[in-house]
Amino acid sequence: MIGSLGFPELIVIFVIALIIFGPRKLPEIGKSLGKSLAEFKKASNELRNTLEEEIRIEEQHTTVDTSKTAAHTPTTAPVAPPTEQPVAAHTDHSA
């Protein structure tokens, strides 16, 4: 957000804020704005950490369910279909 603003733009914003609020109120406004941003950052970090924790727990449950399913499934080797072998012609050599 601030990365898109250059130094001249920031000076113009500061001068306008100085004119509107005056030199005595400006430090108080800056201080309260800084506190608000810090609280917002803290809340967003807590939300991100909570979501990551929930995802991790869900992945663990999925892994446990998968391993339980694999433990209860019989582990027999798959049966291959019978291969067709050519039938030898039976010839009678008794004559």
Domain boundaries, the chain: 8-70
pLDDT digits (tens, 9 = 90+) for 49-86: 999 999 999 999 888 888 777 776 655 556 666 666 66
Query: CA of 46: how far to CAs of 33, 50, 89, in Å?
Result: 20, 6, 80
DSSP summary character for residue 4: G
- Please provide residue 36's backbone torsions phi and psi, each rounded to the nearest 5 degrees: -65, -45
pLDDT digits (tens, 9 = 90+) for 9-60: 989 988 998 898 888 888 898 899 999 999 999 999 999 999 999 999 999 9
Q: How confident is the model at residue 7 (pLDDT cuts 50, 70, 90)?
A: confident
Give the predicted TM-score (pTM) of the model. Answer: 0.49
CA count, 13 A, side-chain hemisphere, 37: 6
d(C-alpha 11, C-alpha 6), whole Å: 9
